Amino acid sequence: MAADGFLPTKHGFAFTNAWPQQPAVVVPTPFGELGLGNAAGGLCGGMVFAAMDYWLTGREPATARPPAGDPFYRFIVARLIDSWHVPAGVAQYYQWMSLPDGDNTMKVFGRQVIVERGLSWRTVRVQWPQIKRDLDRGLPVPLGVVTVASRNPKDLAFNHQVLAYAYETDGSRLTVRVYDPNRGRRDDTTIELDTSAPAKAIAFTHNLGLGARPVRGFFRVAYTPRKPD
């Protein structure tokens, strides 16, 4: 199933998520001030939200990377802040970073009891039904992609955001097609997983522009439209 008409080759920005190394904005979070928009974090959330904004309004996506201070650059930075949903959104990334991949269990009176649900179960059983519902309605879905296992708030910047626009299933095998600002106008960017045993750690396969970082899980990011400047 695919969202109505969105394709990275048509509706993604012609430039990739590569920006100056200094923070584009410093955001107050429950863990102190966090610099966003640096080489590690980029402006992926802002580009995802802006691409969705342009698509919804029927405007042609920009082809030239805006310089710092340009109104379009400021729009992307503003949408980056929106995409983090401070403080609740930052807290969700941090919680997911701190969780195990598979469920934590322990034996109580000889029975295996689930102590804590892992990212795999939360992705497949909680988040995917919500994402699928939006895609089936014809709406692309911003996804928060967790790539690190850490309790260090500074590592929040290593997580990522993409825009899901289509999916395919083959038995328990799920392929989610995404627009990844790190890869630009490519229709072949995907996240793949086997949904048959979500209580165990899932080995996600992907070709996102994350370098050597893995995908540990993903969740639906709440989105509110904003008219591009």
30-52 pLDDT, tens digit per residue, is 777 766 655 445 799 999 999 99
Residue 92 lies in a domain: yes
Residue 3 lies in a domain: no
Residue 203 lies in a domain: yes
Provide the number of structural domains found in the chain. 1
Domain that holds residue 206: 8-220
Residue 226 lies in a domain: no
Cis amide prior to 87 (ω within 30 degrees): yes
Strand blocks (E) in 149-208? 160-170, 173-179, 190-194, 205-206
Residue 118 lies in a domain: yes
The amino acid sitting at 97 is M
CA 51 to chain centre: 14
Residue 227 lies in a domain: no
Residue 135 lies in a domain: yes
Residue 152: CB partners within 8 Å, gap ≥ 6?
none
169-204 pLDDT, tens digit per residue, is 999 999 999 999 999 999 999 999 999 999 999 999
Residue 213 lies in a domain: yes
Give yes or no for a contact between 225 and 53, defined as CB atoms under 8 angstroms apart: yes
101-143 pLDDT, tens digit per residue, is 998 766 666 676 666 899 999 999 999 999 999 999 999 999 9
